[in-house]
């Protein structure tokens, strides 16, 4: 039987330990260190249970799976069942026998685990099989002819991590901990059927991100995804591992003040609205290992809103309070859903009404809008680490809608309530900006003119806001304001909506960005 090495620079790794000996911990450790790992693949390997009653066919299917698979590491069943053939066919592989500190401890873990599922076990038979297989593995691999390590998952994290890292030649900050202990599991509670991450301590946020790479998201046991590994390092900002210095704070505030004053000289009133990240509004749905880690209260968005309160509005408290009216963010995406967008719209309109720039009679209430069910896939769900996504699908398959990751209530403006309609976008806007520019106009010509610089947090706000202005132009801004757009549109109001994570860049901004090719246009 020909063996298949997963890649040119690695040897296959086979974890021969029984269930409840840390095989999932090993799997997560492999994933965190960039290895392609497969854990418990009975279905994929076409195994019929019990394995020993159809051993020859199961073994054939198992090795056929290995020939086709593109993984670096394999753990849990059916790997353990075929250790003798693996010893013969993969002489250069790395073999790891994971064990508990005692048979009684392993048996107690098995008993507690199956109790969660209301399954009675034959403890005498289980004990005999556990001890017999372990003795057989030690006898076969312990002669020094194979790359073999016996590892006790109950040892101190530092000790077992050092042993494993040395054996595999791995150097990384990831600790091998103990995932999915029986006490953590409760099959009656969805969020406690499985634990995606288990790291503890000051470096937990960093290690959770590391485990999630190369994906751009982390997933929690509550079925929510959150941004991670982004260019703004918001997870580190959220937990206070990255903070503004006093100099950076002063530079950022100076940018906003300068922009506000220059826009006033150009005849425009300026407001900046910062939409909090989902992990701020729904922090209780972060992965369980992050639940007890304090979140920083001096984040850039908070500081900027304190320094320039007349212009900068940070919606953290507002949206946290609004949660009682329904889910405000997509579980699988970074930004607010349709209900969240309506609340953001209401906040902005209330600020404008306070200074006479919007009419109460034109405010769109929830009862004015038409509800329907909307499905949404989400940028975070689509960018999730494949291993984490597969684990989620395997364990929460029944919670997944047929279309998209989220089902939410979509709100649209009925024709009898509509005051502004989309009009053709000038060609130069299409040329200048990669993302689509939206232009609305009111047929009655009533209202002020506005330019709204936005990002994805305003995806569902623009049509609502447009109803209040005679002409409104929505520009995808990348966190910046463009003076040339102001000069061309000559708005009365400039609104700036942005996600919290982008605020971290402000110490490096200028008050205005520049469109270099604008001067060549008529």
pLDDT, tens digit (0-9, with 9 covering 90-100), for 410-444: 999 999 999 999 999 998 888 888 888 999 999 99
- Of 133, 261, 278, 259, nearest to 220 by C-alpha is 278
Residues of the chain with pLDDT under 50: 1-9, 517-522
Q: Determine which helix (DSSP H) or strand (DSSP E) holds 129, and give its type and residue range.
A: helix 123-141
Q: Which CATH architecture has domain 13-188?
A: 3-Layer(aba) Sandwich (3.40)
Q: Which two tokens stand for residue 519?
A: 């001067």
23-44 pLDDT per residue, tens:
988 988 888 788 889 988 998 8
- ∠ at Cα 159 (157, 162), nearest 5°? 105
DSSP β-bridge partners for residue 411: 371
Q: How far apart are CA 268 and CA 264, in angstroms?
A: 5
Q: Is the dihedral of CA 254, 255, 260, 266 positive or negative?
A: positive
- Of 106, 102, 98, 101, nearest to 123 by C-alpha is 106
- CATH 3.40.50.300 residue ranges for the chain: 13-188
Q: How far apart are CA 244 and CA 473, in angstroms?
A: 33
Percent of the chain at pLDDT > 70 equals: 93
> Residues with Cβ < 8 Å from 205, sequence gap 6 or more?
235, 236, 238, 239, 241, 290, 293
Q: How far apart are CA 304 and CA 316, in angstroms?
A: 13
Answer for the pair 433, 453: CB distance below 8 angstroms, yes or no: no
> Residues with Cβ < 8 Å from 135, sequence gap 6 or more?
none
Pairing between β-strand 469-476 and β-strand 438-442 as defined by DSSP bridges: antiparallel
Q: How far apart are CA 486 and CA 99, in angstroms?
A: 68
Average pLDDT, the chain: 89
DSSP β-bridge partners for residue 472: 440, 450
pLDDT of residue 1: 34
Give buried/exposed letters for 443-458 (b at 16+ CB in 10 A, else e).
Answer: eeeebbbbbbbbbbbb
Region for 442 from its dihedrals, namely left if φ exceeds 0, alpha if ψ lies in -120 to 50, beta otherwise: beta
pLDDT of residue 6: 38
Q: How far apart are CA 435 and CA 214, in angstroms?
A: 25
Q: Which two tokens stand for residue 14?
A: 């086979």
pLDDT of residue 134: 95
**CA neighbours closer than 13 Å in the CB half-sphere of residue 415:** 0
Region for 404 from its dihedrals, namely left if φ exceeds 0, alpha if ψ lies in -120 to 50, beta otherwise: left
pLDDT of residue 381: 93
Q: How far apart are CA 92 and CA 516, in angstroms?
A: 60
DSSP symbol at 438: E
- Of 350, 361, 358, 364, nearest to 469 by C-alpha is 358
pLDDT of residue 55: 92
280-325 pLDDT per residue, tens:
999 999 998 898 899 999 999 999 999 999 999 999 999 999 999 9
> Residues with Cβ < 8 Å from 100, sequence gap 6 or more?
20, 21, 106, 109, 152, 153, 154
pLDDT of residue 11: 86
pLDDT of residue 417: 96
Q: How far apart are CA 240 and CA 317, in angstroms?
A: 19
> Residues with Cβ < 8 Å from 280, sequence gap 6 or more?
238, 295, 316, 500
Percent of the chain at pLDDT > 90 equals: 64
- Of 179, 133, 144, 132, nearest to 30 by C-alpha is 179
Answer for the pair 137, 79: CB distance below 8 angstroms, yes or no: no
Q: Which two tokens stand for residue 280?
A: 């701020």
What is the value of pTM for the model shown? 0.76
Answer for the pair 208, 288: CB distance below 8 angstroms, yes or no: no
- Of 371, 349, 348, 373, nearest to 360 by C-alpha is 349
pLDDT of residue 213: 81
Q: How far apart are CA 385 and CA 288, in angstroms?
A: 18
pLDDT of residue 192: 67
């Amino acid at each position: 039987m020909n063996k298949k090495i997963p890649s040119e620079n690695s040897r296959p790794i086979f974890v021969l330990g029984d269930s409840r000996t840390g095989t999932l911990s090993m799997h997560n450790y492999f994933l965190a260190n960039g290895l392609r790992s497969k854990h418990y693949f009975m279905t994929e390997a076409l195994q019929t249970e019990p394995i020993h009653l159809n051993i020859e066919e199961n073994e054939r299917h198992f090795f056929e799976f290995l020939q086709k698979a593109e993984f670096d590491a394999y753990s849990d069943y059916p790997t353990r069942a075929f250790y003798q053939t693996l010893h013969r066919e993969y002489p250069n592989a790395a073999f790891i026998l994971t064990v508990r500190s005692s048979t009684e401890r392993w048996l107690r873990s098995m008993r507690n685990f199956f109790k969660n599922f209301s399954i009675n076990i034959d403890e005498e038979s289980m004990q005999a099989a556990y001890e017999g297989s372990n003795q057989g593995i030690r006898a076969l691999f312990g002669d020094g002819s194979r790359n073999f390590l016996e590892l006790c998952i109950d040892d101190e994290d530092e000790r077992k991590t050092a042993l494993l890292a040395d054996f595999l030649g791995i150097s990384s900050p990831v600790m091998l901990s103990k995932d999915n202990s029986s006490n953590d599991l409760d099959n009656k509670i969805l969020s406690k059927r499985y634990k995606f991450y288990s790291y503890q301590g000051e470096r937990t946020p960093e290690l959770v991100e590391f485990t999630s790479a190369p994906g751009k998201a982390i997933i929690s046991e509550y079925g929510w995804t959150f941004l991670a590994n982004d260019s703004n390092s918001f997870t580190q900002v959220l937990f206070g591992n990255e903070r503004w210095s006093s100099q950076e704070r002063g530079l950022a505030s100076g940018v906003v003040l300068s922009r506000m004053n220059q826009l006033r000289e150009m005849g425009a009133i300026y407001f900046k609205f910062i939409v909090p990240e989902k992990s701020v509004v729904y922090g209780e749905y972060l992965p369980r290992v992050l639940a007890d880690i304090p979140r920083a209260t001096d984040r850039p968005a908070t500081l900027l809103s304190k320094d320039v309160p007349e212009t900068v509005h940070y919606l953290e408290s507002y949206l946290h309070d609004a949660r009682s009216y329904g889910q405000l963010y997509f579980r699988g995406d970074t930004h607010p859903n349709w209900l969240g967008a309506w609340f953001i719209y209401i906040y902005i309109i209330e600020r404008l009404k306070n200074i006479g720039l919007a009419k109460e009679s034109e405010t769109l209430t929830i009862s004015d809008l038409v509800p329907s069910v909307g499905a949404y896939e989400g940028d975070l769900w689509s960018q999730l680490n494949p291993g984490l996504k597969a684990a989620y699908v395997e364990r929460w398959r029944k919670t997944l809608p047929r279309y998209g990751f989220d089902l939410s209530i979509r709100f649209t403006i009925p024709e009898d309530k509509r005051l502004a309609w989309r009009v053709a976008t000038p060609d130069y806007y299409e040329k200048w900006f990669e993302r689509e520019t939206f232009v609305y106009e009111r047929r009655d010509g009533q209202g002020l003119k506005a330019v709204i610089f936005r990002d994805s947090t305003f995806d569902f706000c623009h049509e609502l806001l447009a109803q209040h202005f005679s002409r409104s132009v929505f520009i995808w801004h990348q966190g910046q304001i463009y003076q040339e757009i102001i000069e061309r549109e000559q708005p009365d109001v400039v609104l700036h909506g942005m996600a919290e994570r982008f605020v971290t860049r402000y110490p490096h901004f200028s008050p205005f960005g520049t469109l270099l090719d604008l001067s060549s246009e008529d």
